[in-house]
Structure 1
Amino acid sequence: MTSPLPHPLPALTAALAAAALLAGCSAEPSGQDPAGAGATPSADAAEPSAGPSAGPAGPDLPEAADGTDLEACADAECEVLVEAGDEFAMDGTHGVARFVVDAVDGEGLGMSGFGPGIELSGRLPPPDGGRPPTFVMNGFTVTLVAVDGSTALMTLSP
């Protein structure tokens, strides 16, 4: 009887394993930190701050007399910087108890007013260099003075 030939499978398996190990090794370019190469920024750096803007006006917005103090608008007389989602209580003199900034974007300012038995909403287009756009909401006037990205300068006046 003849002796069986050696089986090629163990040699092939060893060769494939060696090739896989070598393929997984690669040289890092000089000057690059391999530990930081795949790292992602920290959560603090990746997420914008939440809440109303408390900083100074953007480069295209004039300073607001009342800054970001939305409480100054309770009597329907103020000049403030606003962003979408801002809202404030009003004293109800004009039938509006709560004012909400629905949107601030390239299309202007969207807003709503709520009171007992009343719901008002409107949209002002961005100012075009002429007279600023206005919206009368139940006896007080909302004026859109300027828009810069997601921040707007608006005034309320009786």
Structure 2
Amino acid sequence: MSKFFLKEKNLEALGYILYAKKVEPHVTTTDYWSPETRDSIVMDGLLKNGLQLYHAAKTDLFKLKYAYQIVRLAHYNGHYNDAIKYYDELVGPNPTQSILQPMSLALKAGAFFRLGRNEDAAYLFSKAFHQSHVKKFLIITVLTGLL
């Protein structure tokens, strides 16, 4: 990867990777048996930084990548209405075809689920399920709980 960046000098890609590596520990689960303790202040700072990077991004691909991270941060920080809003404003209109589209849609569905809007959640989870094989087990688990 270092050779790629030295050769291509793609600073936008490098900046995104550095940002994503900062976000990752705050949006993943390492121990499914214990509740996660998340630092909401750090996550809010990363979200704010992500919005700045989103607006500075030059290509739709990197705008989508930043948008996905922003939706993830809002969702995992418990800001479910913001996760829905960020999906609608940043991900939904993005024309880039990517696995990040259905993954972001699943986060929006999860936000609806957490807000008690189970019918909306089930509908969006079914759309995400249809669009991608990624995380199908998680989607089936959540849908089963909704039925």
| TM-score normalized with structure 2 length | 0.23
Q: Which of the pair is proportionally richer in helix?
A: 2
In terms of fraction of residues, the more strand-rich structure is 1
Larger Rg, first or second structure (1 or 2): 1
Q: TM-score normalised to the size of structure 1?
A: 0.22
